[in-house]
Chain A
Amino acid sequence: MFDLLLLLTPAAFRNEYGAELRRAWSARRRDAPAFETLLLWLELIPDMLSTAIREHFDILRQDLRFAWRAFSSKPGFALTAILIVALGIGANTAIFTAVDYSLLRPLPFAAPDRLVTLWEDATQANFSPSNLEPSPANYLDWKQLSRSFEGMAAYRGLSTNLTGSGDPERLEGAVITAELLPVLGVQPLLGRSFTPEEDQAGGPKVVLLSHGLWVRRFGADPAVLGTIVRLDGVPHK
């Protein structure tokens, strides 16, 4: 127990005075009557905790004083050092942000651990890469015949031009099947998802705006629901 308390103090202090502290503590315990043992421990714990805090604080103060003296005597060196540290912190933060979003945080869906991406395996055809996006016909077959999944949905990337009110804007979006949002377990903030009728060839042209676009282009106006938006010159509702 005493050694654990001693571990809270900085290594420099421990190395210099640890043995002395232990000897003083042993002598104190030896000289005190047995019934005072508990009281001695109750005195020792706050004493060692406050000592650890004081010693760490003293080291910090010494380091800061030393750094300030070194920096004020060589400001050029100091600025270079600060710049390098700032760049290091910046790079670190950027990498961590990317890793955090892509690897650490769960996907923003209802059950991300139950979501999988389906690929066509083209190993036998000797294609490289061997993972291919399935053709629409294969997707429809898989969806109809598969018993392994609760639901299946498809999407592909889409670049389109938004025209109408304001300047034209190039948008990066996706064409999705009606099942995609239910499969992901998400709901639009405003309005509804697509219906099976809208998922048919020749069905109504409908669009779901991203939150960013809704805020930026439409001022987060709820009345945007049902208005006409022109994508590549084609009106969408």
Chain B
Amino acid sequence: MTPACFQILLSLAGEDRHGYAIMQDIASRSGGKFKLGPGTLYTNIRRLLEAGLIEEIDERPDAAIDDERRRYYRITRSGRRAAQSEAQRMEVLLRQARITGLLPRKT
């Protein structure tokens, strides 16, 4: 799974979001270190939709303040499973990095 796909799944794991909200969430969670451009974002959204890992939804979190033309996305059950297994893989790698001294051990 590419870092961009994982970031999008991570962003949608918390709540349903539209494209720009996903971009903002990723940028703020990473402290601005990981920024997705609009092109990269929608290429990866298309791929995730085709893979069935996310879906487009008609519901609006707050219809009163929202632009009705915006498209919202939601993580699917298989998307959540894929993101979980990716996170577990990373967790194992992190543990190994700590054991080998590549990263400082947790106190």
Contacts and interface: CB of A to CB of B under 8 A. Distances in A.
A52 B38 CA distance: 12
Interface in A23-53: 23-25, 27-28, 31, 43-44, 46-48, 50-52
A47 B39 contact: yes
B20 A27 contact: yes
B35 interface: yes
25 contacts: A9-B39, A13-B43, A17-B42, A17-B45, A17-B46, A20-B42, A20-B70, A21-B38, A21-B42, A23-B67, A23-B69, A23-B70, A24-B19, A24-B20, A24-B41, A24-B42, A28-B20, A43-B35, A43-B37, A44-B37, A44-B38, A44-B39, A48-B37, A50-B40, A51-B37
Contact of B43 (A19, A23, A25, A54): A54
Contacts of A179: none
Interface of A: 9, 13, 16-17, 19-21, 23-25, 27-28, 31, 43-44, 46-48, 50-52, 54-55
B71 interface: yes
A91 B103 CA distance: 66
Contact of A13 (B20, B40, B46, B71): B46
Closest 3 CB pairs of A and B: A47-B37, A51-B39, A17-B42
Contact of A28 (B38, B42, B45, B71): B38
Contacts of A54: 43
Interface residues of B, number: 18
A210 B7 CA distance: 72
A44 B38 CA distance: 8
A24 B38 contact: yes
Interface of A is mostly: helix
A16 B45 CA distance: 11
A44 B23 CA distance: 13
A52 B67 CA distance: 27
Contacts of A52: 39
Contact of A47 (B19, B38, B70, B71): B38
A48 B35 CA distance: 14
Interface in B75-104: none
Given A21-B39, A47-B38, 15 more contacts: A13-B46, A17-B45, A19-B69, A21-B19, A23-B19, A23-B69, A24-B19, A24-B38, A24-B42, A25-B38, A28-B20, A28-B23, A48-B39, A51-B42, A54-B43
A16 B47 CA distance: 13
Contacts of A24: 19-20, 23, 38, 41-42
Nearest to B70: A23
A17 B48 CA distance: 14
A59 to B, nearest CB: 11
A21 B39 CA distance: 7
A48 B70 CA distance: 20
A20 B70 CA distance: 7
Contacts of B69: 19, 23
Contacts of B35: 43
